[in-house]
Amino acid sequence: MTRSIIKDAEWTLGPVTAEGAPLAIYSAVCMECRAEAKPTDSEPLPVEVWALKHTGLNPVHRQFKSMVETYWRMTPAENNPYRENGDQGA
């Protein structure tokens, strides 16, 4: 988490922790043919298995762009005028 004061209001930057929100979304693209793995929530293994199978079927396709997408949320600190009921302190 990262804290910062912007225009006299203190904010904390952290991951989105809402129920059902993924920790990350994983995906990959083959750099040879641009084939794309189906993105997965919070679990990289299916994308890794896809890359292994893709190379197994196409032995000259050996490089991939791996992507991990995460989400951030800004939370107002206790003394922040934008803080409302339900905002979690950090």
Nearer to Zn ion, 33 or 49 (CB): 33
Question: Please, is 37 exposed, middle or buried when counting C-beta atoms within 10 Å of its C-beta (0-12, 13-18, 19+)?
Answer: buried
Cβ-based neighbour number of residue 35 at 10 Å: 16
CB of 63 to Zn ion, least distance (A): 9
Residues 85 and 25: their CA atoms lie apart, in Å, by 30
**With binding defined as CB under 5 A, does residue 33 bind Zn ion?**
yes
Judged by CB under 5 A, does residue 29 bind Zn ion?
no
What is the 8-class DSSP label of residue 19? T
Options 18-26, 38-46, 53-61, 76-84: segment touching Zn ion (CB under 5 A)? 53-61
Contact status: 87 vs Zn ion (CB under 5 A):
no
Residue among 35 and 74 whose Cβ is closer to Zn ion? 35
Beta carbons within 8 Å of 1's beta carbon, 6+ residues apart: 12, 13, 14, 90
Q: How far is the CB of 11 from Zn ion (least distance, A)?
A: 43
Binding stretches for Zn ion (CB under 5 A): 30, 32-33, 35, 61
